[in-house]
Structures are given as C-alpha cells and as structure tokens.
Amino acid sequence: MKAKMRLFLAVLLLLALVLPLNLIADGQAEVKKIGTIKYWHGYPEFDPVWKDMSAQDFMAENPGVKVEISSFPLREFERKLAVALPAGTGPDLYYFDLSFNVKFIEAGLVANPPANVEAFIKKGFAKPYQDLATYKGKLWGLPYGGELKVAYWNTDMYAEAGLDHAPANWDELVDFGRKTTKYDASGNVTRSGVSLRLSGGGSGIAEKFWMWMIPAGGTIAEAGKEAGKYHSAYDNDAGRNTLKLYIDFLYKYKVDSFKIKHDAEALALKQTAYFQRESWVIGYMKEHAPNVKYDVAQLPVGTRVGGPVMGTNINVYSKSKMQDLAWEFAVYLENEKYLKAVINDVGWLTSRSDISYEDVFQKEPRLRPAMTMPEGFHGESYPLTTATDEIYTKLAEKMVIAFQDASLVDNPAGIAKIISEAAKQTDEILKEAGAYGK
C-alpha cells in the first residue's frame, strides 16, 4: 500500500513539473502570434489583394497580430529601402528583385528563410524561380512574382493588313510593322507598326533594349568563370543588330516615331499595332481600353528563342524582431486564392508552380504565353552584382542619344562604335565594383 502511495505521489510530482512547462511552451507559442508586422512594396496595384484581402484574413485568423502594408511608387520605394535598411528602421518584410537586393544581402540586411520556408520553396517553385531567389548558394527570399515578356498585337489592325498572326521572327516583325504603320499626308507616323521604348528615366530603356537583344543572341552582362563575376556580352552581332533594328524602325522603315504615344498607352489609344512588355498590360487594357481587340504572343525569334526571365521575391529584414511572424505572413500570401486574385484582378503573374492555373487561362487565355516557357527557350536574368542598376542606367543614357541619331541608318561602323563604347563602359562599371571577370 505504501509503495502504491509513493508511486501516486511520484506521478503527482511529475505532473506538477511537466504542466508548468507545457503552459510556458503554450505561452511562448502564443507570444509568436502577438505583434505588428510591417510590409513595404513598390507596386500599389497589389494593395486590393495584399492589403484588403490577405492581410485582413491573416489578422482575422490571428487576432493578436496587426499587419501594416505600405505601398509607394517604385522609385520612391527603392529610395526608402536604401535609407531605412542600413539605418535599422526598415520594414519586417519587403518585395524586391534579387539583383537589386544584392547590395542589402552583402551588407547583412537580409534574412535567409527558415527550414520550413526553404522546404516550401523547393517543393512549390520551378528551379528558374528558385535560382532568382538564390545568391552565393543560399536562398534569400520567397519567390512570388515571375513571368516571361510577351508581345501585344492589335488584331483588327493586323486583319486590316491581311495578317492573321503575330510576328514569329524578326523578318516578319519588319514586314508586319511596315504593313500596319499609318502616315499622314506629310509622311509623319500617326500609328506605329512597332512601338519601342525610346525615352524615360532610369534603367527601363536598357531593360527593354535587352528584351530585343536576348533573342538576337546576346545579353548585357554574362557570368564569368569565377562566381559572382561578369563581363559585357553585347559588343558583338547581337548588340549591333539590336541597335540597327531600332534605327531602321525609326528612320529607314519609319514604323515608329518620337512624336507619337508609346507602350501600353499607345496600345489602349489604338496608336500602335504591336509592342512588347510584361503581363500587367492585360489588366491595364481591361481597365483603360476594354473594347480594343488585341492578342498576346511570345517574343519573335531573332537568332534564338529567348528573353528575360524575371522573378521578384518577398524578403525579410535581418534586423526585424518579428522574423518568424514575417515569414509566416509571407507564406500566407502564397495561398492559391490570393495568387489567382493577383493574376485575375491585378494582371501580374506569380511563380508558384505546384498549383494549376487552367481556370485562370480559361478566364483569360491571353495570360498563357507569359506563363509558358517555349521549347529551347534561352532565358537571361539580371546580373547579381551591386553594379547592376548603374550598368543599366548608364547604358540607357547612351541608347537614348543613339536612338536620336538618324545618321546611323545603313552605318554599320557608327553603330559598332556606339555599341563598343557602351560595352567598355559596362566593363568599367563592373571593374569599379570588383565584379568583373572573363
């Protein structure tokens, strides 16, 4: 009897020790779901999904958590990050492209995903998008946005010219561009057959030039033999032929002009028959020009099938005191419901590959080309160096001047000189950043 009593007392003592530990553990788990997380991004069009849907649902499921989402115009957002992260005042998480995030990674300002998030990435995303979140062999963010560049063509204008498909190659591009351009009595372009990015601030001009250069067989900066090192890769036929195409379109064939509208605005106003951009244009057209008839195709082939492969990631600030909760919310944004709302309602595409998008394509078939990688596709992404923005910005400055030079028509030596000088500049920038390598 005494033995049983001693056993009973021992069990009571054990329970007395274990229960407080369980309560403490439960309390710690509860603490993780209490607090405020701040999320910054430079795409205000995402707010109806991220701010008004995802954040509200997350807070409803986690009553102790407050999610504050702040959106800014993209360039302002980049400037705010550049100041806030080094100063220790950054958000808990933010949305950024890996190539422009390298400087923050190198400064120790970005957190690596925890094991459970890394497992989610490995399972749910195709390798090209994992690569676009990887630097020096480590993951630095959760892939989210991802797509291919595509071509937009006005089907009525093409039909009027007796054409029934988008240009499949550069020869058709020139031919179709000439057939769909309209002029006034003085020979001025009133409707472009091909709309090019000719002006504007920042590196975007070079990025759009790059969009043409990759199918031509080149790229702005390619990886060297040593990891993390790059060199220019367009002082060649690809670079020269791309600039020649721009000059021919402007001055030889006169299928575009500085004096008319460009880009998505031109498509919406029926002032161009063709241009190339990201998938957001589909959402733009739905809002601004729902009655314009157009279709979407993959980029025309130059010497190869190819184009930029873009991916943007959700990143967590290494100085955040709410990292666990920040990663939890980042994964929450990958819920299929929210991803498809971004695609359907915002027009941007997402990169998660372990779910089906057939219902999205049935609703908007024009999205398929931007989410389908063609056979034999050669993709290029931004070089992963702190010099990337300067490289593209300085190249853009040179190209803006070149585009205005009509003397480059049938002037291969003049074109070669401009391309050679630009490529040397790219290499010099890389050398100054310690990122040059053959």
pLDDT in tens, 357-376: 999 999 999 999 988 878 88
Q: Which two tokens stand for residue 335?
A: 């819920």
37: confidence class by pLDDT, cuts 50, 70, 90: very high
Mean pLDDT of 197-218: 93
Mean pLDDT of 92-105: 92
Question: What's the pLDDT score for residue 10?
Answer: 45
Chosen CATH of 150-309+376-432 out of 3.40.640.10, 3.30.200.20, 3.40.190.10, 2.60.40.290: 3.40.190.10
Separation of alpha carbons 129 and 258, rounded Å:
36
Of 374, 370, 379, nearest to 146 (Cα)? 370
What's the CATH number for 36-145+312-370?
3.40.190.10
Strand partners, 302: none
Stretch among 64-68, 96-100, 262-266 having the lowest mean pLDDT: 96-100
Question: What's the pLDDT score for residue 6?
Answer: 54
Stretch among 91-95, 101-105, 242-246, 430-434 having the lowest mean pLDDT: 101-105
Question: What's the pLDDT score for residue 143?
Answer: 97
41: confidence class by pLDDT, cuts 50, 70, 90: very high
**Are 225 and 438 contacting, i.e. CB atoms less than 8 angstroms apart?**
yes
pLDDT at residue 416 greater than cutoff 70: yes
Separation of alpha carbons 74 and 272, rounded Å:
26
Give the whole-number percent of the chain exceeding pLDDT 90. 76
pLDDT at residue 136 greater than cutoff 90: no
Separation of alpha carbons 281 and 150, rounded Å:
10
Tens digit of each residue's pLDDT (9 = 90 or more) over 396-408: 999 999 999 999 9
Radius of gyration of the chain (CA): 26
Question: What's the pLDDT score for residue 28?
Answer: 43
Give the whole-number percent of the chain exceeding pLDDT 70. 93
Higher pLDDT, 370 or 28: 370
Three-class SS state of 77:
helix
Three-class SS state of 371:
helix
Quickly count: other Cβ atoms within 10 Å of residue 65's Cβ: 20
Q: Give the chain's mean pLDDT.
A: 91
pLDDT at residue 326 greater than cutoff 60: yes
Three-class SS state of 39:
strand
For residue 133, which amino acid is it?
A: A
Quote the DSSP letter at residue 301. B
Question: What's the pLDDT score for residue 346?
Answer: 82
Three-class SS state of 400:
helix
Residues 6+ apart with CB under 8 A from 211: 149, 276, 299, 307, 308
Length, in residues, of the chain: 438
Q: Which helix (H) or strand (E) holds 179?
A: helix 170-180
Higher pLDDT, 261 or 103: 261
Mean pLDDT of 47-74: 97
Mean pLDDT of 211-220: 97
pLDDT at residue 18 greater than cutoff 70: no
pLDDT at residue 5 greater than cutoff 90: no
Separation of alpha carbons 174 and 90, rounded Å:
48
**Are 306 and 20 contacting, i.e. CB atoms less than 8 angstroms apart?**
no
**Are 94 and 326 contacting, i.e. CB atoms less than 8 angstroms apart?**
no
Question: What's the pLDDT score for residue 8?
Answer: 44
pTM: 0.77
Residue that has been written with the tokens 């090192």 in this structure: 229
Three-class SS state of 182:
strand
Mean pLDDT of 312-340: 97
Tens digit of each residue's pLDDT (9 = 90 or more) over 270-311: 999 999 998 889 888 989 999 999 999 999 999 999 999 888
Quickly count: other Cβ atoms within 10 Å of residue 88's Cβ: 9
Mean pLDDT of 332-343: 96
pLDDT at residue 4 greater than cutoff 60: no
Stretch among 23-32, 59-68, 270-279, 351-360 having the lowest mean pLDDT: 23-32
Separation of alpha carbons 17 and 381, rounded Å:
57
Where are the CATH 3.40.190.10 domain residues in the chain?
A: 36-145+312-370, 150-309+376-432
Question: What's the pLDDT score for residue 147?
Answer: 80
Question: What's the pLDDT score for residue 203?
Answer: 87
